A and B are shown apart, each in its own frame.
Chain A
Amino acid sequence: MSTDAPPKEERFEPDETAEDFGPRRRRSRTRTIAIVLAPLVLFALLLATGLGKDPRALPSELIGKPAPGFSLPRLDADGTIDSKDLDGQVVVLNFWASWCLPCRQEHDDLEAVWGRYRERGVVVLGVLFEDTPEGAMGFRQELGGDWPIAADPGSKTAIAYGVFGVPETFVIAPDGTIAAKTTGAVTYEWLTDEIEAALRKGNLE
């Protein structure tokens, strides 16, 4: 590599007087700092907003949209559960698996909600996700509960509901739209709030 640039001494030859060199130099230094800092500050802001987000926060695309239909073979009894038969009812659709720890955690809350609202036509339905019928029945025997549970062959219903993992719980309003969704262990408080809201909505319309 050959350099065409003139030797360094030559470039710094012209001697400037302090009076006209000082202020100009200071101004140019401020400008240089500004030029260097501006993109850094922008980049820092970009990082701050981007890194502040939770990469595991999952979108809820289906809120307010019609709940996808399903027809699932029951695990706890013979026959199938068809979404058409649940029209006009509040449905708590709970995707779960026996291998899933938060599913154990939320079990009592689901049971309490089922006990409190089944008389008012609210249906709790457990949909098995990535699990075997044996696993599901073992879980039932261990922890109890008598709300309907169903298998989901090919995870078609889970995919239709955009399930990322278990547990995920949807509340379907009487008008057949998805009123609410939560990821992770569901709580009694969240469920009662959402069920009450869905029931109110059903009565108004």
Chain B
Amino acid sequence: MSGRTRSIALIVGAVIVVGIAALFASARAGRTASLGDRAHEIASGLRCPVCLNLSVADSPSRLAGEMRSEIQTRLRAGQSPDQIRAFFIDRYGEWILLEPPRSGLNWVPWAVPIVALVSGVAIWVAVVRRPETGLQEPG
């Protein structure tokens, strides 16, 4: 019983910690970010065209640097982050996004683990646990 109480306390504690962290994160996102911060946020979601596995924010390449200044120019011109992302998608395709939009076929990798987990539990309940009531395998 004490073990159970302890694990409940642990879960509640974890939820509180995550909740507080989320509050802090959303508060940070909510305050008016500087142009550099906003540009960095957009750049970190874009894949650097010349290095495949780095974001435009992290890449030291010259093209990435020029893309960062392109983002700043567009922000200064009053474009929204979505408009700027749309510009890059227009020119480079969805390839440019480090995190593809969750639509259409892109849902597959998100759905597969959940479907696998649910069907795994279902199979476990239906098949693996069954020997207790009926069918049994000799050891």
Task: Give the B-binding residues of A (Cβ under 8 A).
Answer: 8, 11-12, 14, 16, 24-25, 28, 31-32, 35, 39, 55-56, 58-59, 61-62, 68, 130, 154-156, 158-165
B66 interface residue per 8 A CB criterion:
yes
Task: Give the A-binding residues of B (Cβ under 8 A).
Answer: 49-50, 52, 62-63, 66-67, 69-70, 89-95, 116, 123, 127, 131-132, 135-139
Determine the distance from Cα of A16 to Cα of B116 in the docked complex, in whole angstroms.
34
User: Does A155 lie within 8 Å of B135, measured CB to CB?
Assistant: no
Q: Which residues of B contact A16 (CB under 8 A)?
A: 136
Q: Among A39, A61, A130, A159, which residue has its beta carbon within 8 angstroms of that of B70?
A: A159
Q: Which residues of A contact B49 (CB under 8 A)?
A: 162-165
**Chain B: CB-nearest residue to A60:** B93
Q: Which residues of B contact A39 (CB under 8 A)?
A: 116
**Known contacts A14-B136, A163-B49, A165-B50: A58-B69 contact under CB 8 Å:** no
**Chain B: CB-nearest residue to A56:** B52
B2 to chain A, nearest CB (A): 13
**Known contacts A35-B123, A35-B127: A156-B136 contact under CB 8 Å:** no
20 contacts between A and B (CB under 8 A): A12-B136, A16-B136, A32-B127, A35-B127, A58-B95, A59-B93, A59-B94, A61-B92, A61-B93, A62-B91, A130-B63, A155-B63, A155-B67, A156-B66, A158-B63, A159-B66, A161-B91, A162-B93, A164-B49, A165-B49
A60 to chain B, nearest CB (A): 8
**Chain B: CB-nearest residue to A129:** B63
User: Does B92 lie within 8 Å of A59, measured CB to CB?
Assistant: yes
Determine the distance from Cα of A56 to Cα of B136 in the docked complex, in whole angstroms.
52
A59 to chain B, nearest CB (A): 4
Determine the distance from Cα of A24 to Cα of B66 in the docked complex, in whole angstroms.
69
Q: Which residues of A contact B132 (CB under 8 A)?
A: 11
Q: Among A31, A160, A163, which residue has its beta carbon within 8 angstroms of that of B127?
A: A31
Q: Which residues of A contact B137 (CB under 8 A)?
A: 25
Q: Which residues of A contact B138 (CB under 8 A)?
A: 12
Determine the distance from Cα of A155 to Cα of B131 in the docked complex, in whole angstroms.
68
User: Does A159 lie within 8 Å of B93, measured CB to CB?
Assistant: no
Q: Which residues of B contact A68 (CB under 8 A)?
A: 91
Determine the distance from Cα of A68 to Cα of B91 in the docked complex, in whole angstroms.
10
Contacts A55-B52, A159-B66, A162-B91 supplied; 16 other A-B pairs, CB < 8 Å: A11-B132, A12-B138, A14-B136, A35-B123, A59-B94, A61-B89, A68-B91, A130-B62, A154-B70, A155-B63, A155-B66, A155-B67, A162-B92, A162-B93, A163-B49, A164-B92
Determine the distance from Cα of A74 to Cα of B90 in the docked complex, in whole angstroms.
27
**Chain A: CB-nearest residue to B90:** A61
The list of the 4 closest CB pairs from A to B, nearest first, reads: A162-B91, A59-B93, A155-B66, A164-B49
